[in-house]
Structure 1
Amino acid sequence: MGKILVTGADGFIGSHLVEMLVRQGYEVRAFVQYNSFNSWGWLDHCAADVKGKFDIFAGDIRDPHGVRTSMQGCDIVLHLAALIAIPYSYHSPDTYVDTNVKGTLNVVQAARELGVTRLVHTSTSEVYGTARFVPITESHPLQGQSPYSASKIAADQMAYSFYASFGLPVVIARPFNTYGPRQSARAVIPTIIAQIASGKREIKLGAVSPTRDFNFVLDTAAGFIAAMKSDRGLGEVVNFGSNFEISVGETAQLIAEVMGTEIEITTDEDRLRPANSEVERLWADNAKARELFGWAPAYGGQEGFKRGLAETAQWFLDPVNLSRYKADIYNI
C-alpha cells in the first residue's frame, strides 16, 4: 500500500486519523487548509511519537489544481475536508456548497485522473434527518434538514456518481456523532465539558430532547482505516456508529457524573435550531460495517460511552487544552 492522502487532516477527526495511520506504519500526506499563519491546525499539537513523520500539503479543497497536486504520488485518499457546523450553514450556505460539493468534485475528479486505487469519502448521519425508523440502516431515506446536511447529500451523490459513471473505487463512510479530544466547541459534548471545566454549574444548551448515537473519535478513525484496507464496499454507503442511543440531556448528566459534579441545564434560545431543521433522533445500525469491514466500536454501549467521555473530559481539563476554547460564548 502506497502513500495515503488525508484531506481535512488539520481537523478534529483528521488529526486523530493521521496519528493512527502513522502509528500503524503508513506513509501519510496531510492536506491542511492554507492560511497566512502557516498553522496546521491540530497537527501542530500532534503526539510526540508522530511529529515529523508525515508530509504536509497546505492548500484549499475548493481549488482543483491544488487538490490534484496534493494527490500526485498517492494511491489512497481519505477525504474528510468539509465545513460541518450546522448553525453556520444557516447564514453562509454558499460556502458549504463550494467546500462540500465542489470540494468533493475536485477530489473525485483528481482521483479519477490519477488512478487512485481507493477513495473513502466522508458522509454524516445528518443526511438522514430525523429518524423515520430505528436503528437507522443505510437504506433510510435522506432528508436535508439544514443547508449543511443538504450539501453533504450532494457531496455523497457526487462521490457515488463517479463510481457509477467511471468505476472510481469509492466507499462512502457515514460516521454518526463523533466526539473526543480536540473536537470543536460548536459540538454539544465539548460545549458541556468546557463549561464545567471552566467552573460553570449552570450549563447553557439548546434542545435537550433530541437523541444521538455518539461515536468515540478513535472508533471513527479505526472505521476509516478498516474501509481503506478492505477489498469490499465499493460503491457502498456504510454507517459507523455505536448502536447506542442517548438524549442530549442525558448526555449532559452523564458528563457531570463522569466529572464528579452536579449541573443545572438552562435553555439558551440562540442555540436552538429552527423547528423543522432540528434532527430529533439518530441511532445507527452498524451491522453493515461489521459485515463488510469487520469493524466494531471499542467504546460501544453506555459503559463505552462513559469511558470515552472520561477520556475526553480529562483532555479538556488540561489547562493548555482548555485555554484554546471560548467556553464563555456560544460557538457556531
Structure 2
Amino acid sequence: MQVPFRLLNALRLHTEIGLVAAMAVAMATFSATPLVLAPLAAEFEVSTATAALFSAAQLGSFVVGSWTAGRVVDPSRRLFVISLVTLSAANVVAAFVGSFVVLVVTRSVSGLALGVLTWLAYSQVFGDDERTGDITTVGPLTAVVSTPIIGVLLELGDVRAVFLVLAGVSLVPLVWVSTIVVPDRTPAGRNRAVRAALVVIAALNIATLGGSAVFVFMGAIAADRYGMSALVISLAFSANALVSIPAARFRGRRRFAGGYFALTGVCAVISTQADQTAVLWVVLCVWGVAFWMAVPGSYTLLAERSRFP
C-alpha cells in the first residue's frame, strides 16, 4: 500500500510535482485511445477506421504543439495553467458532443494542449538526467493505473464517462502549479545535419508512427478477434505498461536498437494473426519491453552518428 507514496516522494526529490502530474495526465489521455476506439465507433455509428480519425487528429496536434511551442512562446506558469484548462474543457465538450466531426475537433484541441504541456515539462528538465528520467518513467507508471480504471468506466458506464473523468483529472496538476524557468534564448549557430543522423531520425519516425498506428487499433482487435471485454483489454494494456518500466529505466548500454524495433513489428503481425488470448498478453508485454529498449537506444545511436549531438 505504501509503494505509490514512496514513489511520489522519490519523484519529489528531483522533479516538481506539477510537471510530473501534467505528464501523468498526458499519458492517461493517450492510454485511453485504444480503449475508447471501438465504443466511439458504436456511439457515432461509424466504422472503426473512421473512428480512428480522432486519434490521428489528437496525435497530429500533439506533434504540432510539442514541436512548435518553443518557437512561438516562452515557458511560463500562465501557459501551464491555460494548457491544463484548455485540455479539461476539450474533454468536457467531447463528453457531450453529438457530432463526430466536433469530437475530432475537440481531440485536436486536446492534442495541442498535451503537446504544449509535454514541451513545458521537458524544457524544465533538459540536461538533468535524474529529472528527465522522472518525466520519462511517469508515462508507463501512469498507464499501469489508468488503463484498468478506464476499463472499469467502460464496463460500468459509457465512453462519455471516460471523457468526464479525464476532464476532472486534467485540473489536478493546477494544485501544484510549478515555477517555470525561462531558458536563455541567446542566439546560437546551427550545424548542418549529418546524413547518417538524418537516416536514423527518418527510421525512428517511421517505426514509431507505424507502431503507434497499429497500437491504436489494438483495443478493437482484442475485442473483435479475441472477444475480450473492455476491462480485460485494459488489464492487458496495464501489463504492457508494467513490464515497460524496467526497460524505460534501464541504465546500461542499449545495443541493437534496430533489432528491438523489428521485434515490435513481429509483435504487430502476431497480434493480428493469432487466436489465443494468452498470445495477445505475451505479445503486448514483449512489445512494451522492446519499444522502450528501442527508443532510447535509437537516441544513443543518433548521438553517436551526429557530429554535434
Q: What TM-score does the superposition give when structure 2 sets the normalisation length?
A: 0.29
Give 1 or 2: higher helix fraction: 2
Q: What TM-score does the superposition give when structure 1 sets the normalisation length?
A: 0.27
Higher RCO by CA contacts (8 Å cutoff, separation 6 or greater)? 2
Give 1 or 2: higher strand fraction: 1
